[in-house]
Structure 1
Amino acid sequence: MTYKNTREFAQQLDSEDQLKHYREEFLFPQVNGKQVIYFTGNSLGLQPKRAKKYVDEVMNDWANLAVEGHFYAEKPWWDYQERFAKPLSKIVGALPAEVTVMNTLTVNLHLMMVSFYRPTAKRYKIICESKAFPSDQYMIQSQVHFHGLDPKEAIVEIERRPGEHNIRLEDVLAKINAIGDELALVLIGGVNYYTGQVFDMKTITKAGHDAGAYVGWDLAHAAGNIKLELHDWDVDFAAWCSYKYMNSGPGNASGLFVHEKHHHNPDLPRFAGWWGHNKERRFKMEPKFDPVHGAEGWQISNLPILSLAPYLASVDMFDEIGMDKLIEKRDKITAYLEFILHEIDKEVASTFEIITPENKEERASQLSVFLHGEGRSLFDYLMKNGVITDWREPNVIRLAPVPLYCSFEDMYEFGQILKKGITG
């Protein structure tokens, strides 16, 4: 398609958009009396209007039923999390029994490390990407310390080549092969939070398994954003937050995947709690832990229903649409944003460097833009003029044109505001 940097062309694209009516499903902040252009769904998604209905339903059941809400609410709290299994399995490419919701992201990754990081004298090393999100770095370091190991010896980071912004697949595979039978675990962010690079999870997972290691993925920036096939890729485990592309609300519950091949392994250790115990016998208060078969067997505590309610509202919306339609619009609106950036770059004779890969197979709903010659003042100008974006040092802005609620006209309008912010 030949794009045009005009409002009329952007409006034409919006008129052809099959998902355009979902924009009305969300609540937008306002700046200067106008609805913002929202580019930070990769940090916190907008609130779906239907979320309040789901939360109010729980509040009303609590008021009217109290403890009996566990069994007699419209959506009984006793099995509330089971409503996520089927729609979430479609979003991440899993069997329903392989997914559940519980805790928060880093907590779930810690719990997965209990099961899948079992270092020995020979096999103890972990591969992760250089400059992973700090929470992952801290989590991995603390797990290594917990096992009495030296992070400098046990943690192997895949580095970017000098002068490059993204990690090459061949470098990941070469490092896996080089470590060989010393490798215990590969744990990488499926989408890099800083550059927006999407990793080839299928190929990396196979390489890790060929080396005899477990392979897990942090899908914080991937779930609800990219096409995932966790079961078919034979991924051992994965976890994701729900508040970015999945719009569940700040700091909300995490999703969890454990491949079915691990569900019946009695030798696989885990930290246990009563909500992971055999559901039919849970209230018998038996002394010996008998885990639920499936990802729910890794649950520990009963679930925070008020937190799960807005997540379920969003998951139901995803189920209505389907990932294929979301990805189709995602690719189109991201390409249009890329075009707008290049056009404005030419008009203002500036130097924008998009550090997100050009190949659409290696990117999703994010463009990270290195603003050479520009500083924090440009970011501040955008924010004051109704463009909510994200600043990362030294001078990168991250733009996430989320297909559920961003419009093509947003992309055009952003370009005009950006141009004014540079030219004054």
Structure 2
Amino acid sequence: MFQNNIEYARKQDAEDSLASFRNKFHIPKNDFGEEMVYLCGNSLGLQPKITSEYIQEVLNDWAKFGVEGHTEAKNAWLPYHEFLAENMAKIVGAKPSEVVVMNTLTTNLHLMMVSFYQPTKTKYKIVVESDAFPSDKYAVESQLKFHGVDIKDALILWKPRKGEELCRFEDLEEIMKQHGNEIALLMIGSTNYYTGQSFPLKKITELGHKYKCMVGFDLAHGAGNIQPNLHETGADFAVWCTYKYLNSGPGSLGGCFVHERHANNEKLNRFAGWWGHNKKTRFNMRKDFDALPGAEGWQLSNPPILSMAAIRASLDTFAEAGFENIRKKSEKLTGYLEFLLDEMKNEAINVITPRNPEERGCQLSIQVKNADKRLHTKLTEAGVISDWREPDVIRIAPAPLYNSFEDVFKFSEKLKEVLKK
């Protein structure tokens, strides 16, 4: 189906219904004004050109109205987070009432564990994948410590088998058979940052719930990349950032999902703040806390509108493209990258990401024998922006909204050159 030549790549771009979206983004250029091959959307997404307009609108309204902008701005600041809910819900497969944009990822993870990790003397353990993103592991360990639980006893790692890179679902099943009655929470990254493996979220949720465990997911490398279908999956909660595949800018706000079955559960513990309080009485400062229903009820403070404006710009771009179309192109684009790497027939490289498109997003993790970061440096000097993960992996993520088939072909040619040297 695929062909290893530039003409084929350009033909695919000419026939691509999303090709025009590349022009809606700022593509980094080198010192000579030539576009770089940017394949690092899994670390920081590119800036939509409309972002500056959305932010400037807020700046103009701030200058014009001052504090009255909360109600008088073109897009009033008071309900601004509500403008993001519907489009964000489509991206993660949820109802608008189940999602909220707030805080940052690890802050949201802690807030969720306050509510959904409730250890008892007999049911107190937490399961994470062994190579979870470090911040997730730090957060989980600190929660265990906060509750006075022995980390060595309570933290269970879902590990790949010896000599393998990927986690097997049947091994998680075995963990649950052995420890299910002691496990309080499964906290799994939906798409592993290192290998690019996407886990079967619905199966994991059903497995956890079978043993009466809470189930949560970190979608940092999933939101805007795969479709997690959170409502249907039935997870209790999920958290994510927006600056990777969702292109909201460095360090921007995170997102949070709380399944609707928990929407009005007053028995759940939570760390409360005034923005999670009933909107009708929020400004009557002497009222006791009255949680909003749904995910909104976990908000703490009034949000940074400038950051939310950048998120809104990206979400509007996603809505225009349609997430089903984005995912369809992603599978083909990453499939082409995989094909070109196979065509190289180079024993020095090995793709550790699953071959099945349903078990991955757009990222392929390329393991390079006997390499170190100097290889990545040479790629950068050759005009490729990717990223390196110790000890020996280059992560390549062709983002379908702004990457082209020609990008992918150019990368494969540059990788060949660098490997020869």
Give the TM bin, normalised by the shorter chain. over 0.9
1:6 paired residue number: 5
Structure 2: distance between partners of 1:3 and 1:338: 10
**What secondary structure is seen at the aligned counterpart in 2 of 1:231?**
helix
What amino acid does structure 2 have at the position aligned with 1:235?
A
Structure 2: distance between partners of 1:325 and 1:124: 42
Shift of 1:177: 2.4
Q: For residues 115-150 of structure 1, what are the alpha-carbon distances to aligned partners after superposition, in whole Å with 9 as ceiling and x for unaligned?
A: 000100011000110011100010001000000111
Aligned to 1:118: 118
Percent of pairs identical after alignment? Answer: 52
Query: Any residues of structure 2 matched to 1:2-401 within 5 Å, and which?
Result: 2-33=1-32, 34-344=34-344, 346=345, 349-401=346-398
**Equivalent residues of 2:276, 2:300 under 8 A apart:** yes
CA RMSD of aligned residues (A): 0.9
Amino acid of the structure 2 residue aligned with 1:352: I
In the aligned structure 1, how far is the partner of 2:374 from the partner of 2:279?
56
Per the normalisation by structure 2, the TM-score is: 0.98
Q: Secondary structure of the equivalent of 2:248?
A: coil
Helix, strand or coil at the partner of 2:232: coil
The farther-off stretch of 412-421 and 372-381 is 372-381
Question: CA separation in 2, counterparts of 1:200 and 1:340?
Answer: 27
Aligned structure 1 segments of 4 or more residues deviating by more than 6 angstroms: none
- Show CA shifts across 1:215-262 (max 9, x none): 000000000100121111111000100000000000100011001111
In 2: Cα distance, 1:80 partner to 1:281 partner: 18
Per-residue CA distance 1:165-213 (angstroms, 9 max, x = gap): 0000111122122212111000000000000000000000001001001
Q: Is the 8 A contact 1:45 1:243 kept in 2?
A: yes
Letter in 2 for 1:414: F
Equivalent pair of 2:281/2:287 in contact (CA under 8 Å):
no
Equivalent residue letter for 1:86:
E
Contact 1:390–1:398 at 8 Å: present in 2 too?
Answer: yes
Cα distance, 1:154 vs structure 2? 1.0
Letter in 2 for 1:175: I
For residues 347 and 413 of structure 2, the distance between their equivalents in structure 1, rounded to whole angstroms, comes to: 14
CA distance in 2, matches of 1:58, 1:419: 47
Task: Tell me whether 1:423 sits opposite 2:420 in the alignment.
Answer: yes
Letter in 2 for 1:14: D
User: Higher mean Cα deviation, 68-77 or 372-381?
Assistant: 372-381
**Structure 1, 206-215 or 370-379: larger mean CA deviation:** 370-379
Distance 1:412 1:327 in 2: 20
Supply the distance in 2 between the matched residues of 1:350 and 1:175 (Cα, whole angstroms).
35
Whole-Å Cα distance in 1 between the matches of residues 378 and 348 of structure 2?
Answer: 18
- Matches of 2:375 and 2:252, distance apart in 1: 31
Listed as ranges, the gaps of 5+ residues in structure 2 are none
1:32 CA drift (Å): 4.0
Paired letter, 2:94? A
| Residue 377 of structure 1, CA deviation | 2.4
Aligned residue identity for 1:369: I
Residues 350 and 373 in structure 1, CA contact (< 8 A), matched pair in contact too: no
Following TM superposition, by how much is the alpha carbon of 1:359 offset from its aligned partner in structure 2, in angstroms? Answer: 1.0
Classify the secondary structure of the residue corresponding to 2:368.
strand
Give the Å deviation of 1:340.
1.1
Does the CA contact (< 8 Å) of 2:101 and 2:254 recur in 1? yes
Question: What SS does structure 1 have at the residue aligned with 2:246?
Answer: coil
How far is the alpha carbon of 1:287 from its aligned partner?
3.4
C-alpha displacement of 1:375: 3.3
Q: Is the 8 A contact 2:368 2:392 kept in 1?
A: yes
Which one-letter code corresponds to 2:82 in the other structure? E
Are the structure 2 counterparts of residues 92 and 245 from structure 1 closer, same or farther at C-alpha, using a change threshold of 3 Å? Answer: same
What TM-score comes out, normalization by structure 1 length? 0.98
Q: In structure 2, what is the Cα distance between the partners aligned to 1:123 and 1:158?
A: 18
How far residue 292 of structure 1 moved from its aligned partner, in angstroms, is 0.7
The residue matched to 2:212 in structure 1 has which SS?
coil
> C-alpha displacement at 1:285, in angstroms?
1.1
Task: Write the distance in 2 (CA, Å) between the matches of 1:149 and 1:188.
Answer: 20
- Number of aligned positions between the proteins: 420
Q: Which runs of 5+ in 1 are unaligned?
A: none
- Tell me which moved more, 198-207 or 85-94: 85-94
> Secondary structure at 1:79's aligned position in 2?
coil
Which letter does structure 1 place at the counterpart of 2:99? V
CA contact (8 A) 2:190 2:222 kept: yes
